Structures are given as structure tokens and as C-alpha cells.
Amino acid sequence: MSDKKSIHGIWASRWVFIMAATGSAVGLGNIWKFPYITGVNGGGAFVLVYLICVALIGLPILMAEIMVGRRGRQSPVNSLIDVASESNGSTLWQLIGWVGAVAGLLIFGFYSVVAGWILEYAVEMGSGTFNGSNMEQVGNIFNALLADPGKMLIWHTVFTVLTMAIVVKGVNEGLERGVRILMPILFVLLIVAFGYGVSSGHFIDAWHFMFDFEPSKLTAKAVLSALGHAFFTLSLGMGTMIAYGSYMTQKASIGSTALLVVFLDTAVALIAGLAIFPIVFANQMDPGQGPGLMLVTLPVAFGNIALGQLFGTLFFILVGIAAWTSSISLMEPSVAFVVEKFKLNRLQACLILGGLGWILGIGALLSFNKGSDILFFGKNFFDMLDYVTANIMLPLGGLFIALFAGWVVKSRISREEMSVSPLAHQFWLVLVRFIAPILVLIVFIYNLLQ
């Protein structure tokens, strides 16, 4: 076992690590993005591929990242350097960490804008705007928000400041205490929304939409976004889980911990889908309408149930908090690295990196109004940030992490660090050495050939 310690601190217990990792994983990816891309990609076939990717690619790579972090006890870049050299591997593996830090900033750019929508919605919900509302009214409110860069800028700025305020202090102060209570409450409120979906009379349609397998819907594009989303939703492929693993206590078991995080993340996504799609079908909406999906459906649900104003306000506040605990983890890898590399303090690192993320976010929020005709390969800036990170950078990062953990790290070291049974370790090795990399490559090649 390695007796290194992280200079950035350590999670107090296994439980705190689980909360932090789940806080990172569960976020807008589950509640905002999963339902909307399920809709865009036609439902069932997409969901099945996503679940397969989570199990065969996401889970083993999550274990790999935590393992590398805990072994290296530093930011992703420096952990990769140290863990590679311990196994006589090349220092070039650190590139995964550099690219990952950039990916984190790019994701932050659009993530913070969506989080801003959520905060605006919490206020609107609280002031009763959505009481008794119908789909059309809510749709108009959302479109008005997109047309108002000033309002989005305020919320984006608020969210950026909130994120950096926690990152400055170091992730294990403050963060953990909050998540421990808030995540369970979010779960309960999601069940309330889900209950509305069940009672809407269109639950069965939603179920069929999400779980009926239609091979014709298995386009190359759908398969790539399912793969990309498996990485995005589990915070993989960019170093977040390496950074969080580096603060994990030596005793905690990596296997069972990773399994629990994957389970919770997947459950939240599926419940969010089953809360949103019944409303979509009950109102003859287009499930493939895109990023606004949750923002034009859930306010209708909360606007039309008893105590909905209260539940709805709480719900949006909690989604905002879930987004917050995720965005913190988007910034942590690059901040930890800048602190180590350039000997800056956390405040300086946060000002620089938070500033960069904030500027990217301005580009993202302008792409819905003033900058809507500035296109990159046919996508506006917001969609481009999302596409390039989730569908390209994260799967590539994950591919290399799998290869690194499987082929470069000596198997004696990975077994010792993960402290799982020899059989489970063998099984994990097969997944990171062969299955996960081959599946990622197949999806990439399939897309290039289309």
C-alpha cells in the first residue's frame, strides 16, 4: 500500500467519499440532459445502449479512475505521472489529465448556463408564476428566458461564484455536510414529480417510450450519444474521479463504492425520465424537442398539484444544488493541478479558472439569442461545447484511462489498491483491457463510417 497523502485534504470517511462522488455524478446530466437526449434519440433503444455502456464501460472506468487517484494522491496530471512511473510507464499518460482539465472547463461553460435556468425557475416557481399553468404558457416563459441574455448572465454569474466559493475552500469543507441531507431530499421530490407522472394517465406510454427496444432507432448517432452520456453522467473521462479518489481514505473498498455511485446515478436518471415523459405524452408534446424538455414539463406538473408551489420550488432549489455539487467537481481537477504546478493558492487558481469558465458560459448563453447564427459544424456554441466534450473528449479520455489502468499499471498494484477479491479483479481487468476500449472504438468507427 502507498502511504502518500494528498496536500489538498482527505474525505473524512468512506461515506463522505460516496456522498461527494454521488454529488458529482448526480446532476443536470440526470435530470435535465438524460430525458432530453432520450427524447431526441427516440427512446428505448437509446436507453438500452446507455445502460449497457454504464455497466460495461462506466463502472470499470470509474473504478480505474478512483484507483489511479488514490494511488497517486494528487491532481489527475500528477497522479498519472506518479502512477505511470511506479509501473515504469511513460510520462505521456499525463496528457489525459491535461485534456481532461480543458474538458472540465468546456463542460462548465454550458453547465453553468443550464444551472442558471434552474435557479431562475426556482424563483418563478416560488413566486407562483407556474400555478395552474399549461404547457403553452410555460413554453413561452422558457423562450422568453432564452431571449434574455442579461437575465441568463446574472444567473450564470451567480452560479459561477457559488461554485468557486466552495472550490476555494477545498472540497471537503462544507460540501460534504450539505450533500448528506440534500441528496436524499432531492430523491424524495423526484418521487413526487414521478407520482404526478404516474397519475397523469400517460405513464404507460412513457414506459413504452423509454423501455421498448426498437432496433430501427439504433442509429450511429444515437449509439454515440448513449456512450458519451454514460461518461458524462458518471463524471468520467476528464479526471474528476481521479481527483476525488485522491482524497479517499485508504480503507474504503473501491469496488463496492463505485457500484453504489453507479446505481444511485442511474436510478435518478431513470426516475427523472419516468417523471417527465408522462407529461410529454399527456400534452401531445414532441419528446425530441431538445434542451428545454424538463423546463417546459415539470413546471406544469408542479403547477397543477396540491402544494405544488412549495414542492416545485424545493425541487428546483435541490436540482440547483445537485448541479452545484457537480460543477464543483468539474473545476476541482484543474484547480488542484494549477495549485500543485504553479504554486498558486486556491484563491488565485479559482479566480483564473473560474474566470475562464465564466467567459465560456457567456458564449454559451449568447448562442440562444444574439449569437444564434454563429455555428460550428452546424451547431451553436452551447451545443458544440456539449457535443465536443460528451461525445468526443470524455470517451477518448476514458478509453485512455482504461488502457492505462489495464495495461500500464502493474496488475499487482491495481489489485492491491482496489482491495477486491482476486476474481473480481480479474473480471475488472478483462473489462478495462479489452471490453471497454473495444466498445468505445467500435462506436467511434461506426460513427466515422456513417
- Which residues contact ligand PHE (rule: CB under 6 A)? 24-25, 27-30, 107, 232-233, 235, 238, 240, 326, 329-330
Q: Which stretch binds Na ion (CB under 5 A): 184-192, 225-233, 336-344, 435-443?
A: 225-233
Cell numbers standing for residue 417:
489498491
| Of the candidates 312, 315, 323, 19, the residue with the CA atom closest to the CA atom of residue 186 | 315
Cell numbers standing for residue 225:
450519444
Under rule CB under 5 A, residue 414 binds Na ion: no
Helices within 304-421 (DSSP H only): 308-342, 346-366, 381-386, 394-403, 411-418
Residue nearest to ligand PHE (CB): 29
Q: Give the Cα separation of 430 and 59 in Å (integer).
A: 13
Minimum distance from residue 29 beta carbon to ligand PHE (Å): 2
Minimum distance from residue 229 beta carbon to ligand PHE (Å): 9
Cell numbers standing for residue 255:
469496488
Minimum distance from residue 201 beta carbon to Na ion (Å): 29
Minimum distance from residue 236 beta carbon to ligand PHE (Å): 7
Contacted entry of Na ion, ligand PHE, none for residue 58, CB cut-off 5 to 8 Å set by kind: none
Helices then strands, each counted (H, E), the chain: 22, 0
- What's the DSSP call for residue 377? T
Q: Which stretch binds Na ion (CB under 5 A): 77-85, 226-234, 297-305, 359-367?
A: 226-234
Nearer to ligand PHE, 232 or 302 (CB): 232
Neighbours of 222 (CB within 10 A): 20
Contacted entry of ligand PHE, Na ion, none for residue 74, CB cut-off 5 to 8 Å set by kind: none
Q: Give the Cα separation of 3 and 373 in Å (integer).
A: 54
Using CB under 5 A as the criterion, what x/- string covers residues 250-289 for binding Na ion?
---------------x------------------------
DSSP string, 58-76: IHHHHHHHHHHHHHH-S-H
Q: State the greatest distance between any 2 C-alpha atoms of the chain, in Å, as a whole number.
A: 65
Contacted entry of Na ion, ligand PHE, none for residue 238, CB cut-off 5 to 8 Å set by kind: ligand PHE
Nearer to ligand PHE, 141 or 322 (CB): 322
Using CB under 5 A as the criterion, what x/- string covers residues 20-39 for binding Na ion?
-----x---xx---------
Instruction: List Cβ neighbours of 19 (8 Å cut-off, separation of 6 or more).
Output: 176, 179, 180, 183
Q: Which stretch binds Na ion (CB under 5 A): 201-209, 232-240, 254-262, 361-369?
A: 232-240
The dihedral over CA atoms of 379, 107, 347, 166, expressed in degrees to the nearest 10, equals 130
Nearer to Na ion, 94 or 163 (CB): 163
Q: Which residues lie near Na ion (CB under 5 A)?
A: 25, 29-30, 233, 265
